[in-house]
Structure 1
Amino acid sequence: MENVVLITGASSGIGLEFSKIFAREGYNLLLVARNEEKLLSLKEELERKHKIKAEVLAKDLYKREAAEEIYKFTKEKNIQVEILVNNAGFGDFGEFASLDLKKQEEMIDVNIMALVKLTYLYLRDMKEKNRGRIMNLASLAAFQPGPLMAVYYATKAFVLSFTEALSVELKDTNIKVLALCPGPTKTDFEEKANLESSGLFKNLKNATAKEVAEYGYKKLMKGRVVAVHGFKNKTIAFGGKVFPRSIVRYVTYLIQK
């Protein structure tokens, strides 16, 4: 199967919207998420509506072997991945010392390790063909430290830095990488991250997952390296760069609290 977009976290939220957009644009899909039932339903819908081909693969990305298993699956099925969308990720709200350590470890495995491994595996193939695109889901959180979501903010800072570095390494190739940095978005992320008591989602206007995905798709096709969705979010990201870190981290704490 050629002209394939591999999307992790494809069954809900921004990943679901990316699946619909790429199918609309005529790409074949490899949809990866934990919920196989949702993936199969989405596959049927997109194949019927857009006359494309889709494969599904149910995987828990916090498992260290998941990335290699996904890559092996594509090789066995002769799936030619042209675009990789590392969308899967999650957060957790609360003081670090009071949170469940296993969940923090799994967050690092999903938000960082799986993303790095998938990027490494598919980037090597893209370099052989000298073409391809990779989108990594960072966040507005990448631009400042995040008290009360310390590990999550740190993982997204890693994703942003990693992606920017790759963009320079790949500057003389036909391979483009993008760090998409949405702000608070209307998905199930808030519930899964226990953010009901956080001021973050109350104080900032939430974009829809569709709005973020449409924006990300356009920026990926244009070859942007970093894309922050929304004017207010762009202002916050800029503030994280110019104001003293002592102020930035305290203001972030007040907003989160």
Structure 2
Amino acid sequence: MKTVKKTALVTGAASGLGFEFAVLLAKDNYNLILVDIDVEKLGIAMTSIRMISDVRIKVIIKDLCEMSSSEEIMMEIGNTPIDVLINNAGFGLFGKFSNTNWERESQMLQLHVYTTTYLTKLLLKQMQKRGSGKILNVSSLAAFQPGPLMSLYYASKAYILSFSEAIANELKGTGITVTALCPGQTNTGFQKVVAESCTENTLKFNMACPRAVAKYGYGAMQQGKTVAIPGQLNRLLSNIPRFIPRRLVTMIVRRLQESNRE
């Protein structure tokens, strides 16, 4: 009897963590649906994955900052059952809130909050009918405290963490798990995007390898962990806001943001 392969959908799959997740899934014999706005990099990613695995790969070129993107993705996947959803796509913006570009910020909020939430809801309904599924939402170490000079990024990542923890609790005993991956700074294209509108673009503190971060998050998802924080230092940093005043935490984060760009 032929075994039916499971299918995973990964957003932001053209590079960085998204690509590394796709590689791990392919090695575990998942068919892939890769979603990204970057046509060229998505093609390169697909070619690279096909060199290591014969899984079926479907690519969806989509701007996830558009409000209609989640419904359009559902139309493109049709009746294909999604066993794993990895909401990885995201970007940041550096600068004082009073000076940053609202159009770009609204796109970030649309992506991190609306698209992540709605795509999760749509695919969760499908998973509930089958009584199984895994969801991994990429949050950040930034989710654990306020972030001056990246205020909306920190706030939106805090939303992803809180949302993921809440629905993970709601889904206990259903066969569906939800994991929030909260990495620290990771050496991906994220830093380039953050620095687009500022003169300094070097982020040096506590930089992690995307392959290692993806492997850690992937393992946590497969184990059904709710919150996954890669790295002992990051786990320590995530707990600091519990023990010192938030005003002081906010001041420390501000100093780190400034020093990382010197």
Q: How far apart are 1:39 and its partner, in Å? A: 1.7
Match of 1:216 in 2: 217
SS of the residue corresponding to residue 214 of structure 2 reads: helix
Q: How far apart are 1:121 and its partner, in Å? A: 0.2
Match of 1:94 in 2: 95
Match of 1:142 in 2: 143
* 1:157-189 Cα distance to aligned partner (Å, 9 max, x none): 000000000011001210000000000000111
Q: 1:198 to 1:254 in 2, by over 3 A?
A: farther
Q: How far apart are 1:196 and its partner, in Å? A: 6.6
SS of the residue corresponding to residue 107 of structure 1 reads: helix
Structure 1 distance, partners of 2:173, 2:52, is: 38
Match of 2:26 in 1: 23
Match of 1:171 in 2: 172
SS of the residue corresponding to residue 104 of structure 2 reads: helix
Match of 2:208 in 1: 207
- The TM-score, its normalising length taken from structure 1, stands at 0.95
Q: 1:2 to 1:25 in 2, by over 3 A?
A: closer
* 1:103-125 Cα distance to aligned partner (Å, 9 max, x none): 11000011111100110000000
Q: How far apart are 1:224 and its partner, in Å? A: 0.2
Query: Which stretches in structure 1 are left out of the alignment for 5+ residues?
Result: none
SS of the residue corresponding to residue 134 of structure 1 reads: strand
Structure 1 distance, partners of 2:139, 2:214, is: 13
Match of 1:41 in 2: 44
Counterpart amino acid of residue 127 in structure 1: Q
8 A contact 2:33–2:59 mirrored in 1: yes
Say yes or no: does 1:55 pair with 2:58: yes
Paired residues in the alignment total 253
Match 1:66 to one of 69, 73, 84: 69
SS of the residue corresponding to residue 83 of structure 2 reads: strand
Counterpart amino acid of residue 179 in structure 2: L
Q: 1:197 to 1:240 in 2, by over 3 A?
A: farther
Q: How far apart are 1:20 and its partner, in Å? A: 0.8
Aligned alpha-carbon RMSD (Å): 1.4
Counterpart amino acid of residue 16 in structure 2: G
Q: 1:234 to 1:129 in 2, by over 3 A?
A: same
Query: Which stretches in structure 2 are left out of the alignment for 5+ residues?
Result: none
8 A contact 2:5–2:29 mirrored in 1: no
8 A contact 2:191–2:201 mirrored in 1: no
* 1:77-108 Cα distance to aligned partner (Å, 9 max, x none): x3221000000000000101100000110000
- The TM-score, its normalising length taken from structure 2, stands at 0.93
Q: 1:132 to 1:48 in 2, by over 3 A?
A: same
8 A contact 1:10–1:39 mirrored in 2: yes
Structure 2 distance, partners of 1:2, 1:26, is: 7
Structure 1 distance, partners of 2:55, 2:109, is: 34
Task: Report % sequence identity.
Answer: 38
8 A contact 1:143–1:241 mirrored in 2: no
Q: How far apart are 1:72 and its partner, in Å? A: 1.1
Q: 1:21 to 1:253 in 2, by over 3 A?
A: same
Structure 1 distance, partners of 2:211, 2:199, is: 22
SS of the residue corresponding to residue 65 of structure 2 reads: coil
8 A contact 2:192–2:201 mirrored in 1: no
Q: How far apart are 1:137 and its partner, in Å? A: 0.3
Say yes or no: does 1:180 pair with 2:178: no
Structure 2 distance, partners of 1:143, 1:176, is: 22
Q: Which is further off, 84-93 or 247-256? A: 247-256
SS of the residue corresponding to residue 50 of structure 1 reads: coil
Q: How far apart are 1:142 and its partner, in Å? A: 0.2
Say yes or no: does 1:6 pair with 2:15: no
SS of the residue corresponding to residue 178 of structure 2 reads: strand
Q: How far apart are 1:32 and its partner, in Å? A: 0.3
